[in-house]
A = this chain, B = another copy of it.
Amino acid sequence: MTRVHVPIQLRWGDLDAFGHVNNASMLRLLEEARCRAFFRAEDSDDDIPPTAVFDPEVLGSPTGVVTLIARQSIEYLRPVPYRHRPLDVQLWLGRIGGSSIDVCYEVHSAVGEEERVVYARADAVVVLVDIATGRPVRLTPEMRAAWEPFLEEPVAFTRR
């Protein structure tokens, strides 16, 4: 089990009028976890634990290729309260396809909380697309090799 753990800081502004993290805001948190796991910022080295090899440099950073989200599902298991400690968002791959991957997520309470809780489970189909043509691009052998260690059982939703 090689999951990438990304600490994501909540914001009070993620709450909605019900006083819990809003359902749409939850996708923002997943987006941020995905960005930190998959992409390097100029200063990214120390943020994500060294297990995170979802790395364009490793992948040969194909130019002219973007990633698009084709589909996304999320199951909300319990309301997320505002906390100062960052949530522990865990990512892995549920499938490595021809030109897309399934990114799976579990949103856990902060590392260090007495009681560990899973707040949500989600998955996203991420497609590699050629900017110029708008068409899907096949994953390279380098990508497959780099991503295989993160391949695990797909996320298991409780409903349906």
Identical chains in the assembly:
4
Question: What does the 1/0 interface line of A14-46 toward B look like (CB < 8 Å)?
Answer: 011111001111011001100110000111101
- Residues on the B chain within 8 Å of A125, using CB: 159
Known contacts A23-B31, A31-B11; is-contact A75 B71 (Cβ 8 Å): yes
Question: What does the 1/0 interface line of A114-128 toward B look like (CB < 8 Å)?
Answer: 000000000001000
Asked whether, in the complex, the Cβ of B13 is within 8 Å of the Cβ of A15, the reply is no
Which of B42, B43, B44, B84 contacts A47, CB < 8 Å? B84
Asked whether, in the complex, the Cβ of B13 is within 8 Å of the Cβ of A32, the reply is yes
Asked whether, in the complex, the Cβ of A24 is within 8 Å of the Cβ of B28, the reply is yes
Known contacts A18-B66, A41-B83, A84-B43; is-contact A12 B32 (Cβ 8 Å): yes
- Chain A contributes a number of interface residues (CB within 8 A of B) equal to 50
- Residues on the B chain within 8 Å of A72, using CB: 23, 73-74, 76
Complex formed: what's the CA distance from A118 to B115 in Å?
39
A110 is an interface residue with CB less than 8 A from chain B: yes
Question: What does the 1/0 interface line of A46-84 toward B look like (CB < 8 Å)?
Answer: 111000000000000000001011111111100100111
A142 is an interface residue with CB less than 8 A from chain B: no
Asked whether, in the complex, the Cβ of A9 is within 8 Å of the Cβ of B12, the reply is no
- Residues on the B chain within 8 Å of A28, using CB: 11, 13, 24
Asked whether, in the complex, the Cβ of B15 is within 8 Å of the Cβ of A47, the reply is no
A-B pairs, 7 with minimum CB distance: A24-B27, A9-B9, A44-B84, A15-B17, A73-B73, A47-B84, A12-B35
